[in-house]
Structure 1
Amino acid sequence: MTSDARHGALSRRSTLALASAAIGLGTGGRAPRASDYPTKPIRIIVPYTPGGTTDIATRLVAEPLSRVLGQPVVVENRPGANSILGAGVAATSAPDGYTLVMVLPAHAANATLQAGRLPFDPLNGFAPLSLVVSAPLVLAGSKHVPAATLREFIDHIRAHPGRVNYGSSGIGATAHLAMEMLQLRTSLRMEHVPYRGTQPALQDLMAGNIGLMFDTYSTLKPQFEAGNIRPLGIATMARAPFAPELPTVNEGSGLTDFAASSWCMLLAPTRTPEPVLERIAAEVRTIVQDPAMTRRMQDLGFVVEGRPPAETGAFLRAEVERWRTVIQAANVRVE
């Protein structure tokens, strides 16, 4: 095990304990009438460090949401345990519409990876609010591997089973599970090197210490443009409008239906009043579907969603099942 992986395992154990403790600190309080909402500042918990995909998407929405609701919307970063700490704080907050949380697919994966150990229920502990945006994953390759296209990478990996490493931002991250899904679909054999975040993995990809990694287009684009890494494919069914020159993973692999995206989903504590949920969801949908905001988000590699609560809940349940299948088939474990 790498030192990064050992440190990450210790961090996950310690922050899981903190998240469990947070359950006992939930605030009570009477939910306000929806007609009075909002009468005070709203916080959106981002269970990751500043500057990442979730943080960027949340801040893009928070400012216009504050204007339309007439109250400050404060973004609060609460990283730890692959989103568990921040989600735990939100789960135990008063169900009054004044605490929300923006989660990534790790929230869906944790339902399986941390089954029986979570201090909250990833599905029933929250009220779905809005699937705000999605971000298709892009496959990048190291220039130190003697291959230039995805097909050449696949041929190289098959000729050297188990000798090519791939990296990810951590065990259970979307980038990790997407690569496991690709291996299952193509019968490839690679070694996983988990890192404590995307940037260390990206640095090792550029240095040639790992051969491949998935991440979002906005993260990888500067290094593509600088010629430091190879763009191999985007995990969508058709080429993306923000990167039409980038072939799909399906084009390069011979698969027909491989797709994988990160996404940002807004949740509230369960029992938050339905009219409050509908009000926030409607405002978020209007914000992200505004043409100027849509263009801004597309430039960052996002696909605008703005789905209502019922569709968001159905999507989350489907994602839990989807990643459960991959986790169990690939025998993914957290320590």
Structure 2
Amino acid sequence: MGLTSNELLVSAVLLAVLLFVGTVWLWPRLARRGWRAVSGRVGLLLATQVAVFVSVGLCANQTFGFYASWADLFGKERGEGVVVDHDFAGGGPLQVVDTQQVKVAGGSRPRVGGQIQKIDIVGRTTHIATPAYVYLPPEYFQSRYRTRTFPAAAVLTGYPGTAEALIKGLHYPQTAHELARDGRMQPMILVMLRPTVAPPRDTECVDIPGGPQTESFFAKDLPDAVSAHYRVGEKPGSWGIIGDSTGGYCALKLAVHHPEVYAAGAGLSAYYKAPIDPTTGDLFHGDEELRNSADLRWYLKHRPAPDTSLLVSSSKVGEADYQDTLKFIELVKSRRHTRISSIILDSGGHNFNTWRREIPGTLEWMSGRLSDR
């Protein structure tokens, strides 16, 4: 059974319940002295606690999408398979491998509910290969819009994260559908994936010297592949990017570094400088300019102000980045061509519940800054 399968979660919960009941039932028999009775009590308590711990862990992983597979969980997923030197058999950098309906009323009909397509992408310039999900709004399938192009937004998870979590946990397709239906945003294409395109390494959307060219993948290969396959607007201003946590940092950095590609970037609970830790390894290999560029505050102080729009979010209570976010807002306000907006909650932690509260406003804000032509 897969790590994220419902069958595994149900089995773990049932095992925990059975062990708890068994402990209560057998406890009187094991209340005696002696090594056998003591060993029995210890064994039952240990097994029950492990089963409860596993059940809670599986439930949390289902909810927050930390790991996609057993290999991902145990660090066995390696990056060697990411780099390829050929295209798909179909001859293009993007291939649709599956479709699923959006969980809204009438979702079984794409003209009513839109559609989610699972895709595989191979970057033409970076040779990075990664899966993703594309949400197509209902209008994409309606005959009166058959010649229309649509704005698009890349949507990124945190690290490690799974692309499925953007659908199942953060409900991006459902929220976009409801907002467009109510006239609060224009119909948009959402390209949902995780920033971890060279698993298990956290590349922080950096072009690593001698390693994965992650920033180039998101700045060029991803929009090029999607625009070649779907009806996305071709003029500047057609693309935006959204992310939470690590994905939020990536979204802001890509909008700041590549305003000609991303007209708007939204970072939910983002940070503003690439960290160096065991999950990232050495990102810069002594390249001081690359290191400085990965610090958004340094970049905005020392480089020409990018013509782009930024949105940041945080909470007065519950988010460690609150003060950094206020300082970042003040810094951007001093730059003539860069526009800044914010969502500041009174309280909210670094979690899905907080981000679900911020996503409707974020999508509305993004919609108002992108063009469909």
- Do these two structures clear the TM 0.5 threshold for a shared fold by scoring above it? no
Normalised TM-score (structure 2)? 0.27
Asked which structure has the greater RCO (Cα within 8 Å, sep 6+), the reply is 1
- Of the two, which has the highest radius of gyration? 2
Normalised TM-score (structure 1)? 0.30
